[in-house]
Amino acid sequence: MLRHCLWRWHFFAGLVVCPFAILLAITGAIYLFKSQIAAYEEARINALAPAVATAPTHSAFDSYLKDLLTGNPGAQLKRAVLNKPSDRSFEVELRHVDNRLVTYWLDIYTGKVIAVKNSDRRFLQIVKKLHSELLFGNTGSYVVELMASWLIILIVSGLYLWLSKPGKETGKTRRFFLPQLSAKKKVLTWRSLHGVLGLWFAIPILILLLTGLPWTQLWGAGFDRVKTLAGWQGPGQEWFVTLQSKIPDSRRVSELDSGLWEIRSDKREAKNTSEVFDFFSSATRVTLDDIINKPEIAELKHPVYIMPPKPNNGVWTVRAMPAQRSERVTLHYDQYSGDEIMRIEFQDHHPVQRFVSHGISLHEGALFGWLNQALGVLTALAVIFVSCFGLYLWWLRKPKGKLGAPPLGTGEFPKGLVFLIFAFAVFLPAAALSFGGILLLEFLWARRTWVMQAD
């Protein structure tokens, strides 16, 4: 009875989950090569910069930013990306008055704009949003979490079904691990390919799914609460920065009313352009050039993001964001003195968080170089082929004009299934929310069947 119930759940879940699994596997495999794709994009943009006979000895990024903001009234600097020594372009992202995020690439020698792109339409951003939220925002992220949770259930139930095959096949171990390509029936061949490939890659697929759970809405939020209750939090101040700069005594509070890196479009608030840009030349404020020229910044691993202070007395934030999370560093600087307020490195986090971060690096293909990427691609291909084999197997076996679902079982509801439902519900909250609906549908389907048989 337990096997029959699991087979029925495996069947219906597979029909729903497999198309999503294929999409997530394709987008995930592409995102494994994030660093290579980003390098290719940078090379193409750098090639657009005009050749120069003699390169200037230094760049004036504050001046470049001033000109860019002048041409985009009302826009605010969201972040700048530190250029590599070999780059000819400097990347700046602005938030416009209509809340659009637009990325500009400026020539590091002249400050001229050499490329512009809507941030949400960059290739890697589209792939990331497809993979994490199906391009539907928070709603899509809940769907992705639900599909990932059920894919875990599919793998576990599939392993049980494959390794507990009844009848003549029981005890013939080689059939579990080697596909029966010479089977007389086509159905048996495809079933063997589906089961054997799923068995080979069950552990890599489960690891891939489990290491992605910290990003999800329900599971991730629950894990954050557990970390808080258990005292596993790190130093904080990485993504939600509340640090404050120390306001100099000589600084008038009235001068702090305007947002930093913001150009006012309302002429009643500023009589001329020079008044709007007072903060660029203010001796009491640290500039973008000051931050970039700090010696410790040059030692950070790329990409390096630089975020401006929030009004009124926020801090400069610099984040080194290489794919390998153990190499990431976050620095905060006082916007008036330029002093380093806080430095956060990998070892500053709790061991549990470091373990999770290593898992995320593994998920992204960055933990152990190209071998990690190769393993990720193979695992993604396994998800695609197992899903396709399963769907094709269903198509071969189903009766014409019918769904071909396993019939409802008879007898008492198995205690083993109750335990599995409880275990999955505790560990996978997204799946737990769906169990009630599934049990209700099963009850309604059974009642319909009983009524039809009575008639």
- For 331, the 3-state DSSP assignment is strand
- pLDDT exceeds cutoff 60 at 216: yes
- pLDDT exceeds cutoff 60 at 56: yes
pLDDT at 60: 86
pLDDT at 4: 77
- pLDDT exceeds cutoff 80 at 366: yes
> What pairing do the DSSP bridges indicate for beta strands 76-81 and 304-307?
antiparallel
Q: Which of 138, 76, 120, 130 is nearest to 307 (CA)?
A: 76
Name 113's bridge partners.
106
pLDDT band at 386 (very low <50, low <70, confident <90, very high): very high
User: What average pLDDT does the segment 137-158 reach?
Assistant: 93
User: What average pLDDT does the segment 340-365 reach?
Assistant: 94
pLDDT at 413: 64
pLDDT at 41: 94
Minimum mean pLDDT range among 192-206, 211-225, 240-254, 293-307: 240-254
pLDDT at 401: 81
- pLDDT exceeds cutoff 60 at 310: yes
Q: Which long-range contacts (CB under 8 A, 24 or more apart) does 181-190 make?
A: 186/396, 187/393, 187/396, 187/397, 190/389, 190/392, 190/393, 190/396
- pLDDT exceeds cutoff 50 at 267: no
- % of residues, the chain, pLDDT over 90: 57
First to last CA, the chain: 27
Q: Is 250 exposed, middle or buried (0-12, 13-18, 19+ CB in 10 A)?
A: exposed
pLDDT in tens, 165-200: 765 554 466 667 787 777 678 888 889 899 999 999
Locate 176 and state its tokens.
């579990």
CB of 65 within 8 A of CB of 75?
no
pLDDT at 297: 94
Highest mean pLDDT among 91-105, 262-276, 281-295: 91-105
pLDDT band at 280 (very low <50, low <70, confident <90, very high): low
- pLDDT exceeds cutoff 80 at 385: yes
Rounded Cα distance, 128 and 149, in Å: 19
pLDDT band at 452 (very low <50, low <70, confident <90, very high): low
pLDDT in tens, 83-140: 998 899 999 999 999 999 999 999 999 899 999 999 999 999 999 999 999 999 999 9
pLDDT band at 347 (very low <50, low <70, confident <90, very high): very high
- pLDDT exceeds cutoff 50 at 279: no
pLDDT at 185: 80
Rounded Cα distance, 416 and 141, in Å: 31
- pLDDT exceeds cutoff 90 at 321: yes
Asked whether the bond before 312 is cis by omega within 30 degrees of 0, the reply is yes
- C-alpha angle with apex 278: 252 to 237, nearest 5 degrees? 70
pLDDT at 274: 33
- CA dihedral defined by 150, 151, 153, 156, rounded to 10 degrees? 180
pLDDT at 454: 58
pLDDT at 415: 75
More confident: 201 or 424: 201
Q: What are phi and psi of 77, to 5 degrees?
A: -70, 120
Rounded Cα distance, 382 and 113, in Å: 44
More confident: 327 or 402: 327
Highest mean pLDDT among 156-170, 221-235, 344-358: 344-358
pLDDT band at 223 (very low <50, low <70, confident <90, very high): very high
Residue with the two structure tokens 């576990």: 156
pLDDT at 1: 67
pLDDT at 180: 78
User: What average pLDDT does the segment 145-156 reach?
Assistant: 94
- pLDDT exceeds cutoff 50 at 270: no
Rounded Cα distance, 151 and 16, in Å: 10
Rounded Cα distance, 147 and 127, in Å: 18
- pLDDT exceeds cutoff 60 at 251: no
pLDDT at 104: 97
- pLDDT exceeds cutoff 50 at 215: yes
